[in-house]
């Protein structure tokens, strides 16, 4: 019998560490100071993975909460898969996140501090094709923080414009 040659898998070095984001939470970086981020797996049901691969999801208004010995993601909308069956799960169902117990304990200690929250920043597929969520331990911004950040961004934009115009004249 002839042995078949085994295809070598593409090495992790040739692939990007993290795949392109399926969906991002644009409001998160505007409304919160991100103190720390971590990666968590997500438990998906039925055709939710196929729907995610098509990019039919939204993190707007979503948050994570520690409940008992687990972390759950609330208000994460995954649109029903069009080619799915009638057993499609509820689009806004609470999804459990997969973390080690030590990570959950660290999150419990950090979120016990007043004003800190768990906010999902983005959902993506890693190089093994597994859906992941980037969670942030974040502190909410108030109106003055947001205004000062807008001023900094506009000043930076003005400087960049001035440099660009100076380089054009030369």
Domain boundaries, the chain: 18-141
Whether this prediction's pTM lies above 0.85 is answered by no
The string of pLDDT tens digits covering residues 86-117 is 778 888 899 999 999 999 999 998 888 888 88
Neighbour-count burial of 114, counting CB atoms closer than 10 A to its CB (0-12 exposed, 13-18 middle, 19+ buried)? exposed
The string of pLDDT tens digits covering residues 13-69 is 333 445 688 888 888 888 888 999 999 999 998 888 888 888 889 999 899 999 888
**Fold classification of 18-141 (topology level):** Small Protein B; Chain: A; (2.40.280)
Distance of alpha carbon 9 from alpha carbon 130, whole angstroms: 16
- The whole-angstrom distance between residue 143's C-alpha and the CA centroid of its chain comes to 24
Pairing of strands 32-42, 77-78: unpaired
Nearest to 41 by CA among 120, 99, 105: 99
Half-sphere exposure of residue 22, counting CA atoms within 13 Å on the CB side? 27
């Amino acid at each position: 019998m002839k042995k078949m040659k085994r295809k070598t898998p593409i090495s992790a070095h040739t692939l990007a560490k993290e795949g392109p984001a399926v969906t991002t939470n644009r409001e998160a970086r505007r409304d919160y100071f991100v103190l720390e981020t971590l990666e968590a797996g997500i438990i998906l049901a039925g055709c939710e993975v196929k729907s995610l691969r098509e990019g039919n999801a939204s993190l707007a208004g979503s948050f994570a909460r520690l409940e008992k010995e687990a972390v759950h993601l609330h208000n994460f909308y995954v649109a029903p898969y069009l080619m799915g069956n009638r057993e499609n799960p509820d689009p806004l169902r609470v999804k459990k996140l997969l973390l080690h117990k030590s990570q959950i304990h660290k999150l419990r200690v950090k979120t016990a501090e007043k004003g800190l929250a768990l906010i999902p920043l983005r959902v993506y597929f890693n190089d093994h094709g597994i859906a992941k969520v980037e969670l942030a331990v974040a502190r909410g911004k108030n109106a003055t923080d947001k205004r000062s950040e807008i001023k900094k961004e506009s000043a930076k934009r003005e400087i960049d414009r001035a440099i660009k115009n100076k380089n054009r004249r030369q």
